[in-house]
């Protein structure tokens, strides 16, 4: 008796499938970001958008429950989820993104932007900084800030990034070389103080840029250094 051979199932890789995967991943990642930076409901709206078109999930529902939504119904549901996302975004974030502020401040001023308030207590230049694990030497010079950061929201926030950059007179941007703020959990009304250092060329005229932590905001404010 001859053993029967089953024909292997061939899966076609199409442009439509690639686009579906791409949008699914995009909506999923943006939804997770929105959960932490915008609001829980806006994040859930994007995550549901991801689930609606994610190929493995749609295949599972079709095989197990014999249900398959048409492209038209999926499109309508996506539109409704996007409307829900926009409705759940806090108005303060929308206003901030539409009307960016480029106000300037001096050392010692308290700057409120997004969910945090920043106060630069002092600033100095050094050739090396002593971290908890090593001594770091600057390629140029370390522009070092003594900064106080406070969570001014009504709930605990994680400081994913410090939101600080140095901009020089040529418009060049410098990211921080050292900070002891990264991934700090910030409780409302409890400021934390730390050091942020930037490795910059000697002789430039820098200013400190502070940007909002909110996802849809491009608001920026600046500390002018004397």
Report the C-alpha gap between 11 and 2 in whole angstroms. Answer: 28
Instruction: State the CB neighbour count (10 A cutoff) for residue 167.
Output: 17
Q: Averaged in consecutive runs of 10 residues, what is the pLDDT profile of the chain (226 residues)?
A: 54 75 86 79 84 82 80 84 76 49 83 91 93 88 94 86 88 91 83 93 93 78 84
pLDDT at 27: 85
Beta-strand ranges (E) seen in the chain are: 104-106, 110-113, 116-130, 135-151, 157-159, 164-167, 173-174, 178-179, 184-186, 192-200, 207-211, 220-224
pTM of the predicted structure, to 2 decimals: 0.55
- pLDDT at residue 50, rounded to an integer: 85
Give the pLDDT confidence score for residue 99 in this predicted structure.
Answer: 46
């Amino acid at each position: 008796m001859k053993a029967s051979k089953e024909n292997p199932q061939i899966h076609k890789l199409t442009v439509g499938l690639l686009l579906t995967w791409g949008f699914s991943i995009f909506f999923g990642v943006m939804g997770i970001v929105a959960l932490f930076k915008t609001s829980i409901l806006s994040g859930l709206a994007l995550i549901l958008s991801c689930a609606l078109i994610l190929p493995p999930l749609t295949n599972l529902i079709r095989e197990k429950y014999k249900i398959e939504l048409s492209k038209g119904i999926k499109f309508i549901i996506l539109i409704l989820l996007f409307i829900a996302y926009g409705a759940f975004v806090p108005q303060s974030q929308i206003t901030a993104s539409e009307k960016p502020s480029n106000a300037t401040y001096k050392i010692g001023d308290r700057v409120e932007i997004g969910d945090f308030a920043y106060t630069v207590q002092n600033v100095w230049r050094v050739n090396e900084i002593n971290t908890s694990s090593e001594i770091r030497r600057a390629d140029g010079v370390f522009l070092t800030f003594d900064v106080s950061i406070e969570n001014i929201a009504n709930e605990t926030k994680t400081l994913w990034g410090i939101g600080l950059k140095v901009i020089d007179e040529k418009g060049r941007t410098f990211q921080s070389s050292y900070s002891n703020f990264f991934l700090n959990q910030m409780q409302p009304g409890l400021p934390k103080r730390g050091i942020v250092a930037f490795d910059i060329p000697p002789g430039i005229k820098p200013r400190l840029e502070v940007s909002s932590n909110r996802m849809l905001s491009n608001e920026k404010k600046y500390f002018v250094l004397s």
